[in-house]
Structures are given as structure tokens and as C-alpha cells.
Amino acid sequence: MPLFRRIRRPLVRTARCLGLVPSRREDPYDRRFDSLEVSPAVAAAAERMRGTLHPPAVWILGVMPRSGTVYTGELIRLHPQVYAYPNQMWELPLPELSGDLLQAQERFFALFEHNRERMARHDFLRLSGGAFMAYLLGFVPDGRTALFKVPDVRYLRHFETWFPGERLLLLLRDGRDVVASTLKTWPQKSFRRVAQQWSRATHLALDYATYRERRGDPVPVWKYEDIVRDPHAFARWACDAYDLPPDRYPWDEIDRLPLRGASSVHAPGTVTWEPVSLAESPRTTGKWVSWTRRQKRVFQAIAGDALQRAGYVTGASW
């Protein structure tokens, strides 16, 4: 190997560590689900930190913000065996820090190259996940099932590295409604950019579900629209999927469960978490029907394939 090639990588790493060269950022929608590396020693340490006093936690990952994670979480947390959002951490976007943490690990290696031989490429993620689970489960009574939610699937390929053994639920929502709701909540955002984000996130979620299916341990994928249409059916599924005794679920409370944070019940550019009755609230689906023809064409061009793949339409005419 030429001398230049032998010294180039250490020089680049050192330059990045010193801030002379920007660190390479990982694509948050990377779909290389089987290319992760964790050392056995770190995996064992993280498992010890996490402990065994609590059953696997439930993690709801919405395709992106405004995808219905709040209402879905409220349905699950009605069960008295579920302990939702320990320490009142209503959202826990830890997987989204994967890129930053991997950069920090690269800097750690660059400061002393010998450490690279002792640790695997994604050990910082596993250690951080084990430590965070130990911290959060400290608020949860023994034997209770913890519930967390993240309204984003970016860096989804790293979820299992952060939290192996926990139970993941992927939540989809019609991209047209997501865009309409997002722009009402944050009118400064770009229609095109939000549509692109929804498309990439939806393809990522569906690709991951396909990968898990082929691997033999499928991950559940629910549509927000189906949950709102029949919340009792979803609650029955959740009891079975998460080992929650159905005879302890307060079934009569489902129909009184309010919506919180819905964009249809607050002024543009604001968010309110005041509860609104689902039966009395404005529509939660079909928010996009008042779009102009141009908006429909733009969305179709950007995200039409994802809309069809997710099963919301069967063709380009809608």
C-alpha cells in the first residue's frame, strides 16, 4: 500500500477531531439495516445497566411530527399496567442523536487510535441506550411496562442498537394530512420540503418493516386513520401484543378519550394541548381536500409513490 494511503485516514481523522475538516454526517434515512457493529462486552454491559425488573418497553415511532403519536400513546397508557413517559419526558428522540453520537465516537478514536481496536463502530449508541433505559426505568415501578414515543423515524436503522429487546410500533399517517397539519402548525415550513420528508420517512419505515419481516421478527405497522376509526380494535391488539391483561383495560374510557395537539383545533402557527373530544372535534383526516390543483400536483410528483406504497391510494388520480 502506498505511503500516502497508509497515512491519509489517520490524518483525516485527526483533522476532523481538531475541527479542521467537517465530520461526515450519516444520512438519517439510511436503509442499511444490517450493517451495525456492537462489541460483545458493550452489549453485555448495556444489558446489565438496563436490568430485568421491567418487561420490554413499548416505543411508538411516528413517521414524522403530526402523525398521531399522542392519541396512540393515550390509548395504550389507559391500561393500568403501563407506565407512560417516565419523569414526564413526553418525547424521547434519542435515536435522532445517532449521527452526533457516532461523530463523538469518531473523535474519541481520533484522540487515541488504540481505542479503535477495543471497541466496535456503534458501541457508543448501545452504551447510551443502556444508560438511558436504566435512568428512565428508575422512575417505573417494578413489573410495569414503560411507554415512550418519538414522532420521527430518522435514524431508524439504529433503533435496535440503542434499545435491543424493546418493542417497537411504527405509526403511519396519510402524507397529505401530515403536510396539511404541519403547515398549519408551522406555516413557515416549505410545502415541498415537508412532502419530501414524509416521503423519505414513509419509505424508510416500510423498508424497515420489510427487513424485519424477512428476518423473521416482524415489527407492527399501524395507520393512524385505522386507530381513530376503531380504537377498540387497536386497544385489543395492544393488550395481546404487549402482554397486558385485557380484563384490566378500562374499555369504557376509550370513547371519552380526547384528542390533544390536533392542528384542526388551534390557530395557525400555534399548538395547544387542551383536550378536545374526538366525537366533537373537527375532522382528523382529509385535511388536504381544500388543496389547490397545483398543490395536489406537487405532492403527487414528490410523494405519490410513497402514498401508493403505504396503501392510501391505488393510483395517481385522487
pLDDT 10s digits, 142-171: 999 999 999 999 999 999 999 999 999 999
CA distance 180 to 119: 45
**How far apart (Å, rounded) are the C-alpha atoms in residues 148 and 79?**
14
Give the model's pLDDT for residue 271.
57
Residue at 14 is within a domain: no
Domain annotation covers residue 164: yes
Percentage of the chain beyond pLDDT 90 is 80
Domain boundaries, position 110: 25-249+283-309
Q: For residue 256, is it within any domain?
A: no
Residue 212, C-beta contacts closer than 8 angstroms, at least 6 positions apart: 218, 219
Q: Cell triple for residue 151?
A: 414522532
Residue 20 has pLDDT above 90, yes or no: no
Residue 26 has pLDDT above 90, yes or no: no
Q: What is the CA radius of gyration of the chain?
A: 22
**Mean pLDDT across the stretch 110-134?**
96
Q: Is residue 29 part of a domain?
A: yes
Q: Assess if residue 289 is contained within a domain.
A: yes
Mean pLDDT of 298-305: 97
Question: Per-residue pLDDT for 30 more than 80?
Answer: yes
Q: Is residue 314 part of a domain?
A: no
Q: Supply 90's cell numbers.
A: 413526553
Coil/strand/helix, residue 268? coil
In-domain check, residue 11: no
**Which residues face 221 on adjacent strands?**
170
Helix (H) or strand (E) holding 61: strand 58-62
- Name the domain count of the chain: 1
Cell 419509505, residue?
203
SS in 3 state form for 164-195?
CCCEEEEEECCHHHHHHHHHHHCCCCCHHHHH
Q: pTM to 2 decimals?
A: 0.86
Would you state the pLDDT for residue 21? 43
> In this predicted structure, which of 76-85, 96-105, 268-277 has the lowest mean pLDDT?
268-277
Q: Where are the alpha helices (DSSP H) in 51-152?
A: 69-77, 98-111, 123-137
pLDDT in tens, 261-288: 555 545 555 555 566 565 545 456 788 9
CB atoms within 10 A of CB 251: 12
The domain spanning residue 37 has which CATH number? 3.40.50
- Asked whether 297 and 189 are in contact (CB, 8 A), the reply is no
Residue 202, pLDDT > 90, answer yes
Of 285, 273, 77, the closest CA to residue 173 belongs to 285
Q: Is residue 79 part of a domain?
A: yes
25: pLDDT confidence band, cut at 50, 70 and 90?
confident
* Average pLDDT for 286-299: 93
